[in-house]
Structure 1
């Protein structure tokens, strides 16, 4: 999936607009305009993959930004989509519409065998979102804590056919205070499938640190939108990993 470590820009969508949240908390969003325009900006700057989350779907369980997502799917990039995918039918519908990878969160926690069902039809199409706060998996838009260990969860989903794991360290997400490589490495070392790290990137040094783990990619949101660094500089910071 990732022959070289990849920097993946996030285009999170709420009420039809590209936004970034702080710590995954609703009401903390900063708005950055049209989602398709944001995606094309990152593609023009060198992005190969766009990470797209329907935040309305993540919080409310009902996807409301299909048109904006489809516009991004129609760009030249690989597109992975999450947020509000609450049934295998919804996941397969997205994959049939041109989405390259769906991101399953709450659904995978509540019905793990769904991962296997969808993966049988789309072997490279399922990423499972393992979101952790205080060392435990959280679901329902990061609002509900479970007692599940993130590394254990990742290993289980690998056995069910997941093509990769999206690991979000919610404790540092959106705060521009830096990453924690230890939780990322713990999850990445537990599986043989790619792990995409997410949460806390604020500097090029953060990206370089994550690229030194066994993770395959990193999702970057707020730091790019707030121009802490350019996407090109972020990509260049990982070149030694190729």
Structure 2
């Protein structure tokens, strides 16, 4: 299982939100680039980067900073937040991003999703962000009437190879992931699943590994020093 330390960028700073609420954010560093280098120095094999400004505006607001992270870390990074066009995807891939994540656009623009998956294949992942089982969009600011499990089936038909599944109510709460929902998602699809939201302890990571998930995104628990990245990597390093 691959661990992805999370780097969420808002107004040029590294922040963590609680349940996706932009009004409930905490700044953990003025330089997301330095934070990225910290996680790499502690053994991270990959990074999960989100442009929170872009998630609201639909523009790659922190593109230059993300480029610098890709250059300086020299490990695979996946990037999401505000990706709404093929041109944005091409640009991110051209600056060294390994995988581009589509969220809102996967819901609102099926044509874009189809084009992206057909053209870039495994370079595309889709973020399914759910609140009480319903898909949220626009930086989690809006909740649709689409069930996450129904969207998952559509993504499989299109040929999506990886998803990031986030239970918004767990995100940033340090109360553990929604194992029950993750197991439902894992059992329902052949798509590789990356878990996100609420992962807090070494036991959480061990359980996700036992569930045979592809990966897990670790956020607030790392920044609050609730868990140690080196310890987590020791648990997961025997699985690629």
TM-score range, shorter chain: over 0.9
- Note if contact 2:170-2:176 (Cα within 8 Å) is conserved in structure 1: yes
CA RMSD of aligned residues (A): 1.5
Q: CA deviation at 1:170?
A: 0.4
Tell me the secondary structure at the aligned position of residue 201 of structure 1. coil
Larger displacement relative to structure 2 (8-17 or 88-97)? 88-97
Tell me the secondary structure at the aligned position of residue 145 of structure 2. coil
2:69 aligned partner:
72
Larger displacement relative to structure 2 (38-47 or 110-119)? 110-119
Tell me the secondary structure at the aligned position of residue 22 of structure 2. strand
32, 37, 41: which one aligns with 1:40: 37
TM-score normalized by structure 1? Answer: 0.93
1:13 aligned partner:
9
- Note if contact 2:60-2:88 (Cα within 8 Å) is conserved in structure 1: no
Higher helix proportion, which one? 2
1:120-172, CA deviations, whole angstroms, 9 ceiling, x for partnerless residues?
22121100010000111111111111122212212211221222001011010
Q: CA deviation at 1:240?
A: 6.5
TM-score normalized by structure 2? Answer: 0.94
1:61 aligned partner:
58
- Cα distance in 2 for partners of 1:51, 1:95 equals 14
1:117 aligned partner:
115
Tell me the secondary structure at the aligned position of residue 123 of structure 1. helix
Question: Are 1:24 and 2:20 counterparts?
Answer: yes
1:205 aligned partner:
203
Tell me the secondary structure at the aligned position of residue 188 of structure 2. coil
- Note if contact 1:189-1:214 (Cα within 8 Å) is conserved in structure 2: no
Larger displacement relative to structure 2 (61-70 or 221-230)? 61-70
1:194 aligned partner:
192
- Note if contact 1:36-1:68 (Cα within 8 Å) is conserved in structure 2: yes
- Note if contact 1:136-1:149 (Cα within 8 Å) is conserved in structure 2: yes
- Cα distance in 2 for partners of 1:148, 1:186 equals 16
- Equivalences for 1:128-207 in 2 at 5 Å? 128-207=126-205
